[in-house]
Structure 1
Amino acid sequence: MSFRRGVVRQSKFRHVFAQAWKAEHCIDDVRVSRVTWDSPLCAVNPKFIAVIIEAGGGGAFLVVPISKSGRIDQSCPTVCGHAAPVLDIQWSPHDDNIIASASEDCTVKVWQIPDGGLTSPMTEAIVTLEGHSKRVGILAWHPTAFNILLTAGCDNVICVWNVGTGELVYQLSDAHPDLIYSVSWNKDGSAVCTCLACRCLQKRLYKLLTVKEKVHDGTRPMRAVFLSDGKILTTGFSRMSERQLALWDTKDLSEPMAVQEMDTSNGVLLPFYDPDTNMVYLGDCTIRYFEVTDESPYVHFLNLYSSKEPQRGAGFISKRGVDVNKCEIARFYKLHERKVEPISMTVPRKSDLFQGDLYPDTASLEPALLADEWIAGQDAPPLLVSLSGGYTAPPSKHRDTLRSKPKLVSQDSGTGAAPASTPTPTPTSAAKETEEEAPQPRVATRETDGNTERPKREDDILNELLAEMKALRAVVLAQSQRIELLERQLARIEDGDV
């Protein structure tokens, strides 16, 4: 584009640079799956890395702690309960120990990974979901409702499940005449975008909102992702087989707001979207990253990271897992043929203080809604947590019980599986609380044989939160005094006293 040539657009992400981790921090000897299915083949959260691997006589994926590095022994235990290759895996956004897997055996299974990882092969899932007639290749957890999982298969059917009960909540079987390439929830989970030969947008999966035929002219697979403001970003191919990126306004799908052409490579561009920074990363051998704004041309190219080694897939860690002390705003886990390589996206800053402008409050583990509330028609934005001080919570023997959520219920046995340990999100501006008012945490309860169990008394919760706030104030005061001392020393130097 020729307009405003020579004018540099101001953005704090303009100088983001990517850096691969050293070889000793990579994971080696991982037999990454060779399945011919365009999926990331990897899922990452602040606790674990999961990778779909080659397995004889069925389907399996590897799960190791996020801190793992070095060689993976061939006898390392795996999750291996599927009867055919695994096509997709996704961690629950509300429990870092829960992962779902989709397979060519037409089933979806939900697994609970113990803290510290596997010590023996895991073959029994806590829930098995059966409703597709062909292989299942797409999983998408609801962003704000607990235990709601969407699945899509090669039968062109979309299913929405209440994982806690194993119940099929919705089934959409007549809206997709062709193979579904991707599915994406919007920010509050009130709408779903599906990408195939046409563009469909459903609300509650029974009302078709809008359709766009041929968002990309090419016949190759497309991908779509909802942005925070409700717009949709798609990747696909032009009629000349050039890879494209396009931005769409759901209020008017007649023409894209922006289109950018990349190259003529035949690999499918997998989009990874960060709602906190409004940045989009397109991953293959080269990771391109863009910032989406309200200013024309709307999608602004920032930079790229190139690697000579081919990519089999990639995982994108949630913002709760990045290193805020190093101004890391994103991290990929690139899959090679036999290796997992972390790649950090960093904003160069000299200050050691927390950079609040880089880290707005992010989605927490705490769900905004229970499954029954969403099924009944409620919608809610995600509950947010501050990243100030990093994700690691202060040690407290009661901390894991501050926020309770329903236990995942096995479809077969009806018994509850123990919930994973989850740090408590601190109150944020999203809760509209003032500093003078003590935050009142929502304490979820569950019914057991007609009796209501409360995980912890509210006054105990309040006392712990107040103690934590007091400790944080002490840290801020100490930092302020340090800054004041340094400023006085600097003034003496400038005056020639030193």
Structure 2
Amino acid sequence: MSFRRGVVRQSKFRHVFAQAWKAEHCLDDVRVSRVTWDGPLSAVNPKFMAVIVEAGGGGAFLVVPVGKSGRIDQSHPTVCGHAAPVLDIQWSPHDDNIVASASEDCTVKVRLDWPVPLEPLAFRFVASAFVQVWQIPDGGLTAPMTEAVVTLEGHSKRVGILAWHPTAFNILLTAGCDNAIAVWNAGTGELLYQLADAHPDLIYSVSWNKNGSAVCTVCKDKALRVIDPRRGVVLKVREKVHDGTRPMRAVFLSNGNILTTGFSRMSDRQVALWDTKDLSEPMAIQEMDTSNGVLLPFYDPDTNMVYLLGKGDCTIRYFEVTDESPYVHFLSLYSSKEPQRGAGFLSKRGVDVNKCEIARFYKLHERKVEPISMTVPRKSDLFQGDLYPDTAGLEPALPADEWIAGRDAPPLLVSLSGGYAAPPSKHRDAVRSKPALASQDSASAPAAAAKEPEDEEPRAVARETGGNVERPKREDDILNELLSEMKALRAVVLAQSRRIELLERQLARIEDGDV
């Protein structure tokens, strides 16, 4: 008796299996946040793992080296500069020491691993909301961190979505409950673009495409949109991607298609695949089960696999997306007894290639973080090149100003053969040596250059000690607090000045009869 060819689909990922790490390799006593926001609550890169945790009187997130295990003491230092619960955190794809955080206090904060010099600006006060960026020393935190290096202000309501540009350095997208999308240069604190009218209701999800030329979004109005953020143009719209009223998610795939998760009219959870050239009908749609948990998609562009985690579920489902019908192929699922409150997805640079590990999750329990490895069984101990194509490295393909000027570029790829080791980045060193606030009075440039030699030695000391330097004089501490507050205010002024100029130009056009 002969079997017809093609009955069993051939795929090297058909036998991928998930395995939780032993208890001694988990993190215990981590008080994972109870915030009612449908986000992953964690972010992981090859250096650090960040987890949003409970904090009294404000918002905080824990940052520990990715290899750390065991009990986390309650006195362990955290990043605690937000005045309300943190909603989202994201590591920069181009520097493992840069992390951005968004909070209910309407701020996004970004922390860098180099000091930001001050530049004088003309002040015009306008009330608004913030976003912040933080500095994480190489060895992790040794003291609580309360001051962000960059504060990005522009949203009027809480900010819950962060998305770094995949190829351009320091470009950060934020979305808030004011139904607006903002694109920033995190290195200068400058608001580049703002789309306030593209969405009529709450934005659920934002995802960049492969080269960062467009983003896809899903909104409470059940519509999927493809947007060019530089031109502020909605390129494509698909109404009622999913019929259910529960939150949806969307992610761009490497071939330009979009995968969405949502709910049917009968509250069945669904996953659908869309061709951006024709959004009239989905390429494929599958119903999963009946549950209230929002499905969070994690996409691996190297293997073209999608992992679906439901908040409150005990399972992780994984699929392979191909060019052959039915396009989205179910592979298997990982099941455990404990429900997940969120998860962090490790970038491909951090996996163990010697064990054929193709993905790793850090599952959040109520008071524990548990690593889960996705592995392809292979007998050979040699490097498996078919499992590990070249992946996106740390080096950005474009500086921020070139992307702003309209240029696009695919990610710069690196080989994982023998494991990944991050090379020193000439591009990032050059950025560090420049003033972070590029839009300043031209008359201030000589003064800044004159101060640079005096600051050279203290900066070197700050880097050697991980940014936590004990100042012998109280006057220095007071001065540092004042300078930090001035930096945050300058970011506010810069963003609002650009907004005022834009409104003035629009008003002039109306008065001239051009509109």
**TM-score band, normalised by the shorter chain?**
0.7 to 0.9
User: Matched residue of 1:296: which SS?
Assistant: coil
What is the identity, as a one-letter code, of the residue corresponding to 1:258?
A
Unaligned runs of 5+ in 1: 394-398, 422-498
Q: How far off is 1:199 after superposition?
A: 1.1
* 1:116 to 2:139 alignment: yes
Distance 1:50 1:248, change over 3 A: same
* 1:126 to 2:155 alignment: no
* 1:274 to 2:261 alignment: no
Picking from 220, 226, 235, the partner of 1:201 is 226
Q: Is the 8 A contact 2:87 2:102 kept in 1?
A: yes
User: What is aligned with 1:227?
Assistant: 253
What is the identity, as a one-letter code, of the residue corresponding to 1:124?
E
* 1:184 to 2:207 alignment: yes
Q: Is the 8 A contact 1:128 1:411 kept in 2?
A: no
Q: Is the 8 A contact 2:183 2:229 kept in 1?
A: no
Q: How far off is 1:392 after superposition?
A: 3.3
User: Matched residue of 1:263: which SS?
Assistant: strand
Q: How far off is 1:105 after superposition?
A: 0.6
User: What is aligned with 1:391?
Assistant: 420
Query: What do residues 79-137 of structure 1 show as CA deviations (whole Å, max 9, x unaligned)?
Result: 00011110000000000000000001111000110001000000010100111000000
Picking from 303, 322, 331, the partner of 1:302 is 331
Distance 1:164 1:342 in 2: 32
Query: What do residues 319-373 of structure 1 show as CA deviations (whole Å, max 9, x unaligned)?
Result: 0000000000000000000000000000000111100000000000000000000
Q: Is the 8 A contact 1:361 1:386 kept in 2?
A: yes
Distance 1:364 1:219, change over 3 A: same
User: What is aligned with 1:55?
Assistant: 55
Distance 1:275 1:181 in 2: 22
The structure, 1 or 2, with the larger RCO (C-alpha pairs under 8 Å, 6+ apart) is 2
User: What is aligned with 2:26?
Assistant: 26
Distance 1:303 1:291, change over 3 A: same
What is the identity, as a one-letter code, of the residue corresponding to 1:200?
R
User: Matched residue of 1:343: which SS?
Assistant: strand
* 1:374 to 2:403 alignment: yes
What is the identity, as a one-letter code, of the residue corresponding to 1:400?
P
* 1:92 to 2:92 alignment: yes
Distance 1:29 1:5, change over 3 A: farther
Query: What do residues 196-233 of structure 1 show as CA deviations (whole Å, max 9, x unaligned)?
Result: 12111111341111101110000000000000000000
Q: Is the 8 A contact 1:127 1:411 kept in 2?
A: no
Distance 2:21 2:395 in 1: 31
The structure where helix makes up a greater share of residues is 2
User: What is aligned with 2:121?
Assistant: none
User: What is aligned with 2:485?
Assistant: none
Q: How far off is 1:402 after superposition?
A: 5.0
* 1:68 to 2:97 alignment: no
User: Matched residue of 1:381: which SS?
Assistant: coil
- The ranges of structure 1 where at least 4 consecutive aligned residues each deviate by more than 3 angstroms after the TM superposition are 401-405, 408-421
Q: Is the 8 A contact 1:127 1:410 kept in 2?
A: no
User: Matched residue of 1:295: which SS?
Assistant: coil
User: What is aligned with 1:483?
Assistant: none
Q: Is the 8 A contact 1:363 1:383 kept in 2?
A: yes
Q: Is the 8 A contact 2:320 2:330 kept in 1?
A: yes
User: Matched residue of 1:221: which SS?
Assistant: coil
User: Matched residue of 2:424: which SS?
Assistant: helix
Distance 1:108 1:62, change over 3 A: same
Distance 2:42 2:435 in 1: 26
User: Matched residue of 1:262: which SS?
Assistant: strand
User: What is aligned with 2:283?
Assistant: 257
User: What is aligned with 2:363?
Assistant: 334
Query: What do residues 2-40 of structure 1 show as CA deviations (whole Å, max 9, x unaligned)?
Result: xx9981000000000000000000000000000000000
Q: Is the 8 A contact 2:351 2:357 kept in 1?
A: yes
* 1:10 to 2:10 alignment: yes
Q: How far off is 1:307 after superposition?
A: 1.2
Distance 1:401 1:182, change over 3 A: closer
Unaligned runs of 5+ in 2: 110-132, 441-447, 465-515
Distance 1:77 1:182 in 2: 31
User: Matched residue of 1:143: which SS?
Assistant: coil
User: Matched residue of 1:320: which SS?
Assistant: helix
